[in-house]
Amino acid sequence: MTMRRLLIANRGEIAARIIRTCHRLGIETVLAASEADLNSIPARMADQTICIGPAKSAASYLNVDLVVAAAVEAGADAIHPGYGFLSENVLLATRCRESGILFIGPTEAQLDGIGDKLKARGHAVAAGLPVVPGGTIDAVEDAREMAEKIGWPVLVKAVSGGGGRGMKPVHDPAKLKETIEMAMAEASAAFGDGRVYLERFVASGRHVEVQLLGDGKTILHLGTRDCSVQRRYQKLVEEAPAPDLSDKVRAAMHQAAVDFGRHMEYCGLGTVEFLVDCKSGEFFFLEMNARIQVEHPVTEAITGLDLVAEQIAVAEGWPLRIDQSDIGFSGHAIECRINAEDWTRDFRPSPGTVAAAVFPAGDGIRVDTHVERGVQVPPYYDSLLAKVIVHGKDRPDAIERMRAALANCCIEGVATNVAMHSALFESPEFTKGGIDTSFFPSFLQR
């Protein structure tokens, strides 16, 4: 079918970004917004805005029935969930099907098989991918036995959810029980699912992912991204392609991701995430995200593709419009997440009113944002204000462009992490490339 009207079940910069592509494609947009976002930039950009409830996410953006009812009321052909919120929610996909509305994402079975990390791990094994040693635990005694088997230290991981919640390393066997209980409580509160499992903790590892695009039959990879600059498993900087990987490892990672996609008969955009052991050079499957990623602009920059447009085409039932030989990789791209946080005070959230907002512009610079002077930054949601993306002829050129872009980025009225990013891009270790996930915490302590 050809999409005529699409409801966006999200907010902030991703809502604005989806609206831009829809308008280019001639698709009408309806924004499902909470009371806190009725006067937002995405609300002004959309052709129509429907209030779906109070500011708190549980009563609006996370309420499946309200989102679907808004789509039905608006006469929408489809729902795009963006990332976060309901983007990987099986119930939303089911309600869409029952209501005759397209869900912009993979099938219900694929969401179920990927959203549960244990099921995803099982699919990875079935597809022939390497996985970090570990497995399920039913009791603390099981965990102790498994930890001894796979080797210390270990990582306790929540079966559901993401963003680092319910994920805790354990170095001291005496703290295993306490850590498992903490992880279970955190996962239960965040995702309504307290199940956890154990994996060997890789002390020196890089977070590298491969972007996939599939139509259920054909699976393409769109290259690698490196997301190793993290704080408490939250990504801050992403770049494409991942630097300092050998051609052999990169090709093997591409193939592993495609194999996983083929095994799942994947339909839509998805990202297969890997952990690269810096000591051994081995890589392991971590998980798959069955949605568009925050960091998708760096892949768009080096491939020239509009990933939202490709998502929509697949959802409409079209076979992929490109094949692997059509995909080329040009230069190097880097993205910085600009958040409303006081990074000098342990990244404390900084809601408030934006008194001024000046963003960089120019050749090789892209800014995805939903803020301007006078915009309220509410305390209810993720603190992301903008993404600054640069594209250069190579990584050194991209780093220089990002330094200049950050120098021309000014947001007043709320605290931000712009200065932190500027300091990071002066770091010799980051400039060299190939840092692991332990780098950023040590960088903050300097």
Question: Apex CA 160: angle with CA 14 and CA 81, to 5°?
Answer: 25
Instruction: Render pLDDT for 342-395 as a digit per residue (tens, 0 to 9).
Output: 999 999 999 999 999 999 999 999 999 999 999 999 999 999 999 999 999 999
Q: Is the peptide bond before 153 cis (omega within 30 degrees of 0)?
A: yes
Q: Is 291 a catalytic residue?
A: yes
Q: What percentage of the chain reaches a pLDDT higher than 70?
A: 99
Please report the DSSP string for 36-56 in residue order: GGTTSHHHHHSSEEEE-S-SS
Q: What percentage of the chain reaches a pLDDT higher than 90?
A: 85
Helix (H, G, I), strand (E, B) or coil at 275: strand
Give the pairing type, strands 267-277 and 234-240: unpaired
Statement: residue 408 has pLDDT above 70? yes
Give the pairing type, strands 205-215 and 234-240: unpaired
Cα 149 from Cα 363, distance rounded (Å): 53
pTM, rounded to two decimals: 0.94
What is the arithmetic mean of pLDDT over 419-442? Answer: 95
Helix (H, G, I), strand (E, B) or coil at 223: strand
Could you tell me which of 144, 170, 175 has the C-alpha nearest to residue 156? 170
Could you tell me which of 316, 307, 309, 313 has the C-alpha nearest to residue 289? 307
What is the arithmetic mean of pLDDT over 165-182? Answer: 90
Could you tell me which of 327, 270, 237 has the C-alpha nearest to residue 83? 270
Statement: residue 203 has pLDDT above 90? no
Cα 17 from Cα 368, distance rounded (Å): 7
Q: Which domains does the chain have, with CATH numbers?
A: 5-104 (3.40.50.20), 133-200 (3.30.1490.20), 205-444 (3.30.470.20)
Instruction: Render pLDDT for 71-117 as a digit per residue (tens, 0 to 9).
Output: 999 999 999 999 999 999 999 999 999 999 999 999 999 999 998 88
Instruction: Render pLDDT for 37-74 as a digit per residue (tens, 0 to 9).
Output: 999 999 999 999 999 999 999 999 999 999 999 999 99
pLDDT of residue 142: 81
Cα 293 from Cα 81, distance rounded (Å): 12
Statement: residue 189 has pLDDT above 90? no
Burial 73-90 (b: 16+ CB within 10 A, else e): ebebbbbbbbbbbbbbbb
Residues 6+ apart with CB under 8 A from 100: none
Q: What is the largest CA-CA distance in the chain?
A: 60
Question: Which is the catalytic residue, given 200, 206, 225, 291?
Answer: 291
N-term to C-term CA, the chain: 56
pLDDT of residue 102: 97
Instruction: Name the pLDDT band for 283 (thresholds 50, 70, 90).
Output: very high
Residue with tokens 């769109």: 222
Question: Apex CA 278: angle with CA 275 and CA 282, to 5°?
Answer: 60
**Host H or E run for residue 27:** none
CB 151 within 8 A of CB 199: no
Could you tell me which of 130, 99, 135, 94 has the C-alpha nearest to residue 117? 135
pLDDT of residue 287: 92
What is the arithmetic mean of pLDDT over 420-446? Answer: 94
pLDDT of residue 202: 86
Helix (H, G, I), strand (E, B) or coil at 28: strand
What is the arithmetic mean of pLDDT over 330-346? Answer: 97
Residue with tokens 């008969």: 265
pLDDT of residue 426: 97
Give the pairing type, strands 5-8 and 28-33: parallel
pLDDT of residue 165: 75
What is the arithmetic mean of pLDDT over 152-162? Answer: 85
Cα 424 from Cα 421, distance rounded (Å): 5
Cα 257 from Cα 219, distance rounded (Å): 9
pLDDT of residue 141: 78
Averaged pLDDT score across all residues of the chain: 95
pLDDT of residue 236: 97
Q: Which amino acid is at 193?
A: D
Instruction: Name the pLDDT band for 162 (thresholds 50, 70, 90).
Output: low
Q: Which amino acid is at 19?
A: I
What is the arithmetic mean of pLDDT over 251-271? Answer: 98
Instruction: Name the pLDDT band for 232 (thresholds 50, 70, 90).
Output: confident
Cα 298 from Cα 302, distance rounded (Å): 7
